[in-house]
Amino acid sequence: MALVGLGAFFALSSCTERTSPSPDSTIIKASMNSTTQQNIIQYTEEDIQNIKSLFELNEKSGWYHHKQWGNTWPQRRTLFADVNKTGYYSLCSNYYSKHGIDHEYIEAVVGDKEIKSRKVELTSDDHRTQKRNGKTFEVNYYSNYGDEGILEAIAKSNPEQEITIRFIGKKGVTVEEILDSEDRKALTEAFQLSVILRKENQQIGKR
């Protein structure tokens, strides 16, 4: 059986219509940091196909959407991620409540680490809002790997430990949420798919 070497050391994880990240994001070459590159395991072709089967590919846009979220914004405060054909990914923070807080960035507490994303300009295409049925969706797309390693940290985290996400509003409002277990699993699988596609596109180690 064919084996593919991939940079990862974690085990395989057994509604409002949204759009994919900004078009400019799709032309960015996927990259892999040196830490990930140095941790190599072997995935069989069966493993790879099992991971890919968890996603739906939009042939027109070139983006993979995990079936956990589909092509909609979740009706809860959480994170989701999209992956394109090159392996480039965009982590997104999804704030959902009666009132928005104009959140500019997030902090993730993963084990003993606190990781802060880059700030998103509220007037940019990376910040999107919508009101529906008395609720507000407020979504940030952390393009250009603006998540600062949050997705990778989640994928490599101890599954026995909870992960806390803090939504940081423009006026100092902070809302904490424990990351949903199914969303966490899907985020791990999104990172795995990113690694697979980057390897297939020979992007590991390139910037």
- From the list 39, 3, 9, 12, the residue with the least C-alpha distance to 185 is 12
Q: In this predicted structure, what is the pLDDT of residue 45?
A: 87
Does the structure show a pLDDT above 90 at 39? no
Q: In this predicted structure, what is the pLDDT of residue 166?
A: 98
- From the list 120, 181, 126, the residue with the least C-alpha distance to 154 is 181
Name the token pair of 4: 């593919």
pLDDT tens digit sequence for 103-162: 999 999 999 999 999 999 999 999 999 999 999 999 999 999 999 999 999 999 999 999
Please return the burial class of 140, using the count of CB atoms within 10 Å of its CB with bins 0-12, 13-18 and 19+. Answer: buried
Name the token pair of 153: 């940290």
- H-helix or E-strand spanning residue 193: helix 181-200
Could you state, in order of their start, the residue ranges of all structural domains in the chain?
3-200
- From the list 49, 89, 29, the residue with the least C-alpha distance to 65 is 89
